[in-house]
Amino acid sequence: DAGVTQSPTHLIKTRGQQVTLRCSPKSGHDTVSWYQQALGQGPQFIFQYYEEEERQRGNFPDRFSGHQFPNYSSELNVNALLLGDSALYLCASSWLAGNEQFFGPGTRLTVL
């Protein structure tokens, strides 16, 4: 049983560019959450998708947007990249709100 998968593993972008990160949830899971983990910090909640809609959002600007597809996979889009967006982006899946979340290995984004 494959766990949560994310692509790409690493990504380098320059300021002002746009980026798309992808996530496939664990088999049987229908909910995907995205987190940003800056260096030396704990993960911060960006948003959660369920039934192809954003169900809850953390304290992140509108430059951060997402999408969930009918097969439950998800994308995270970040526009107008800033240096401060450099971080590890983690995707987590679950099958019930408030239930345990299973994390993927993350995508390391570097903004130059």
Please report, as ranges, the residues that interact with another protein according to CB under 8 A: 4, 31, 33, 35, 40-45, 48, 50, 55-56, 58, 90, 92, 97-98, 100-106, 108
Query: How far apart are alpha carbons 104 and 24 in whole angstroms?
Result: 9
Tell me whether residue 20 or residue 45 sits nearer to another protein (CB atom). 45
Angle at 39 between CA 112 and CA 36, to 5 degrees: 85
Complex with another protein: residue 19 or 31, whichever CB lies closer = 31
Residue nearer to another protein on the CB measure, 20 or 44? 44
- Alpha carbon separation from 106 to 57, 90, 94, 103 (Å, rounded): 19, 4, 16, 8
For 53-68, letters b (16+ CB in 10 Å) and e give eeeeeeebeeebbbeb
Provide, rounded to whole angstroms, the least separation between the CB of residue 90 and another protein: 6
Nearer to another protein, 16 or 72 (CB): 72
The distance of closest approach from Cβ of residue 16 to another protein in the complex, given in angstroms and rounded to an integer, is 27
**Look-up of token digits 């408030």:** 98
